Structure 1
Amino acid sequence: MCLDRAAIVAPGDISDSGQPNLWRVATVHRVEEIKALVRLLPIWRAPWSAGHITKTLEIPPATLSIVIFGTTLVSIILYDRAFVPLARRVTGRPSGVTYFQRMGIGFAIAIFGVASAALVETRRCDTAIRHGLVDSPKAVVPLSVFWLVPQYAIHGIADAFASVGHMEFLSYDQAPESMRSTAVTLFWLCGSFGSYLSTVLVTVVQALGKH
């Protein structure tokens, strides 16, 4: 692989003191790490597809995940600055609510995100029927991709409660100090597995729908 050349020592790559110039040559370990990341690119690229903003402008719907991150960031700030002080007055707890209560609130909010997704899907199907696109699974339904924004935003708010509460529960309450990084890794692996599982479920439903 062409990346292996980065670990080949050439004249001038080693200083007089015997130390390698890391701007000119890389260690074998670093090269192997980059190669491992390159192998993951097809996996990161797989979920992306095109979505219409206008009739001539398209963006990958996966980029709308920035809405989740943005709303999660804003929600965390509001949670710490507004929600916790109010909850603290009611419960008397320094954190406002327990980890389980925070996760429960997040799961409850996520229900509204799923409901929003169902409403958007209903509208998409109605639009497809009106334009006679029901029998054309690869046809582009004339519906703006921004109809997906509300459900992404709601899930972002839910993540500020459920995901952050879940991570805090694992990292700070249950996991030993030496295993905290492992606990966080397992948390994200579970999320990745859930994403792949949802993809399988959607594929199965689409396959059954054709019959």
Structure 2
Amino acid sequence: MSQATTMDRRIGKSFQILAVLLTVFFVGNMLLTVPIYDRIIIPIVKKVQKKPQGLIKLQCISVGLVLSILAMVAATLTEIKCLHLAQLHGLGNDPTAVVPLSMFWLVPQFFLVGSGEAFSYIGQLDFFLRECPKGMKTMSTRLFLSTFLLGFFFSTMLVSIVHKVTGEKRPWLVDNLNQGRLYNFYWLLAILSVLNLFLFIVGAKWYVYKEKRLVEEGLELEKVEPSCHAQEDQHFWRHPYITTR
């Protein structure tokens, strides 16, 4: 949002929109990604990979992490362009100056973040609900939601560390964005996102899905038919229906 406050937010000659309205693109793309994933992406993946479930859970999370990296790169490039125009027009010392760059340059990064969050949420929620023991499904959803709190906490901590490390001479984050180095902060986020993706792939490589573990132990799962009393997804695999071969 802070980027948008220094950019041209006009539509037409006189109408100006609020910077906070950029969240519409974020939320809207999240809502749009879910049906696209369900109706378009999954059928394509089923045909290409010849797997009935389409993208598996950890693959879905990986796609979300990759999109988040691309979003940070897009944010960095946009900020560099914005600073270049601010310096070109001599607006660096004026914190209220409007850089001659449309706010809609920020839309791609919001679209990427929205799609990335959608893929990550779908994969995480599906993973927790399907892989956890039956008695822990409720707890797993609570743990899933607690990641939001942890994310806000670590974001605040990262901002504080950046403030302390960069010092006062060449700070990355300042009130006047035209004098700051916000693009360095975005590069840092991109690097941390790449590291996070690498660690996730290493961990996912060694994970064995519950269905495969049960098959290796000589057990198999039966699909549960929809029931009017069922409170869970009709596609979930449930332990009470485990049978020996």
**Scaled by the length of structure 1, what TM-score is found?**
0.64
Which one has the largest radius of gyration? 1
- Map Cα deviations across residues 67-126 of structure 1 (whole Å, 9 max, x no partner): 111111111111100111121223343321211111111222222212211111111111
Out of 13, 16, 31, the residue aligned to residue 73 of structure 1 is 31
Q: Secondary structure, in 3 states, of the residue corresponding to 1:143? A: strand
Instruction: Report the Cα distance in structure 2 between the residues aligned to 1:207 and 1:144, rounded to whole angstroms.
Output: 30
CA apart distance, 1:184: 2.8
Q: Identity over the aligned pairs, expressed in percent?
A: 28
CA distance 1:66–1:91, change in 2 (3 Å): same
Amino acid at match of 1:53: R
Instruction: Go from structure 1 to structure 2 and tell me whether the alpha carbon gap of 1:178 and 1:158 turns closer, same or farther (over 3 Å shift).
Output: closer
2:100 aligns to what SS in structure 1?
coil
1:155 maps to 113
Which residue identity is paired with 2:26? I
- Classify 1:170/1:177 alpha carbon distance in 2 versus 1 (closer, same or farther; 3 Å): closer
TM-score (norm 2): 0.56
For 2:229, the equivalent position in structure 1 comes to none
Match of 2:139 among 155, 176, 179: 179
For structure 1, which segment, 78-87 or 143-152, has the greater mean C-alpha deviation from structure 2 after superposition?
143-152
3-state DSSP of counterpart to 1:102:
helix
Counterpart CA distance in 2 for 1:144 and 1:184 is 37
Gaps of 5+ in 2: 173-245
Question: Tell me, which stretches of 5 or more residues in structure 1 are unaligned?
Answer: 1-46
4+ long deviations beyond 3 Å:
47-52, 55-60, 90-94, 135-140, 197-208
CA distance in structure 1 between the partners assigned to 2:3 and 2:21 by the alignment: 8
Q: Is the 8 A contact 2:4 2:103 kept in 1?
A: no
Equivalent residue number for residue 119 of structure 1: 77
Match of residue 200 from structure 2: none
Q: Could you tell me which amino acid in structure 1 is paired with residue 55 of structure 2? A: V
For these two proteins, the number of residue pairs brought into alignment is 166
**In structure 1, what is the Cα distance between the partners aligned to 2:168 and 2:132?**
42
Which shifted more, 149-158 or 135-144?
135-144
Residue 209 (structure 1) aligned with residue 170 (structure 2): yes
TM-aligned CA deviation for residue 198 of structure 1: 5.4
Moved more, 172-181 or 201-210: 201-210
